[in-house]
Amino acid sequence: MRPIADIARDLQRGAVTSRSLVEEALAKIEDPAGEGSRTFIRVFRDSALAAADASDCLRAAGLVPSPLAGIPVSIKDLCDVAGVTTYAGSPTLRNAPPATRDAPVVARLRAAGAVIMGTTNLTEFAVGGLGLNPHFGDCRNPYDRETGRVPGGSSAGAAVSVTDGMAAVGLGTDTAGSVRIPASLCGLVGFKPTKSRVPTNGVFPLSTTLDSVGPLAPTVACCAVTDAIFANEDPVVPDAIPLDGLRFGIPDTLVIDDLEPAVQVAFDSALSTLSGAGARIEIFKFPELAELGGVGRNRFPAMVEGYSIHRERLESMIDLMDPRISERLLGGLKLSGPDYYEILEFRKGFIERATAITSRFDAVIMPTLPITAPPIADFHGSDERLRDPHVIIIRNTCVANLLDRCALTIPCHEPGAAPVGFTLMGENMADRRIFGIGQSVEKLLSPIL
């Protein structure tokens, strides 16, 4: 993995070309000993090479539209790419018509000069945090490949495409943590924006209330540039914000409960490091989190919205779906119209109460996940064993979605250890400020990762 800024610098001085970058990425995708066949659902070999050649010609003429110009990126197979069918990780869509136009986020990447390598694997219909897909294969976490651990989901392929050098940055989506979960488990930076900043039209929905689009990349700066392109803003990296005197709050409810020992050690070490740099860290009362119950199962709009989106499919094509996914989607059938209204009203009040509590902090911090990546083999042939990890893996990340806030996960583990993510959650529309804080946090917590 290399930061976008380093690759762009090499392109500018002629040390590499866009074509050589794309050829290298294709070689990794096509390596039979690698993860490419499980990471990508579709590879755009010919169009990627053509786009790379065009980028090199434009650069030679002095035309460089953005820091991503000529650089390989991957697209989660939930986003429309003109001329091809969006599968959303499901065989039920194999015969669906091709997209007539790019999703806006894809179009913005093209306009920025990025080279689109292909569409990446995901949990079917983005329903789940482990990143497993029985239809297109289970790509393996870069950590402990021999064992074969879950990459995290639902943006599983997006993460592995970056860790394995098949793309410099991955486009993911995040409804309850689907960018930040694989980023955390795979040792990447991942960002969930405030929902309204980045358009989601042209992206196959799971929850129209909660869905958002975000990047997975090696560094905070990489995510900041890519997020700006997604949001149609100037692709610049905000200045780093010094940590001395910043106020960080840790909720006393839910998010620090039952942490796996490796996560606890990494998080405690991160707190000590940040405190030593002058950050003021406070554990504060946030009893409202307890109201989420079983990880928001009865407070989560996605339950009703997901069922509504897939209702006809569940009636006519359920035999083609992963039964674990269809079971979750069918959960929305149990909720009525009044239930849905109460869920939305709860969320409205939850946001208001939380803002009153947390607005005094520069960021709310927490472990991104309470666990590290478990072995894939733990979940084969056992529906029951899949349920509990599915719930706990979204426990912390779903908070930012329910509150409609921005959230950034940054690696905080020791080199060689199982990846652990550290979350900075900002207020609604505080996205660029969180990137500024995140750069300073990254320098301390993951300076050589």
CA 307 to chain centroid: 22
Q: How does strand 169-174 pair with strand 212-217?
A: antiparallel
Q: Establish whether 161 is a catalytic residue.
A: no
Contact indicator for 250, 268 with CB cutoff of 8 Å? no
Contact indicator for 188, 159 with CB cutoff of 8 Å? yes
Catalytic residue among 76, 90, 161, 192: 76
Fill in the DSSP letter of residue 1: -
User: What would the DSSP string read from start to end of 309-321?
Assistant: HHHHHHHHSGGGS
Q: Establish whether 154 is a catalytic residue.
A: yes
Catalytic residue among 66, 154, 184, 446: 154
Q: Establish whether 76 is a catalytic residue.
A: yes
**H or E element: which one contains 348?**
helix 337-358
Sheet holding 115-120, edge to edge: 40-43, 115-120, 72-76, 169-174, 212-217, 189-192, 407-411, 421-425, 363-367, 247-251, 280-284
CA-to-CA dists, residue 248 to 14, 223, 278, 279, 342, angstroms: 43, 22, 11, 7, 32
CA-to-CA dists, residue 101 to 84, 122, 151, 401, angstroms: 9, 21, 30, 28
Fill in the DSSP letter of residue 238: P
Query: Which alpha helices (H) appear in 120-174, and where do they start and end?
Result: 156-163
| Distance, CA of 166 to CA of 40 (rounded, Å) | 10
Catalytic residue among 55, 178, 326, 440: 178
Q: Is 388 left (phi over 0), alpha (psi -120 to 50) or beta?
A: alpha
Q: Could you give the residue numbers annotated as active site?
A: 76, 154, 178
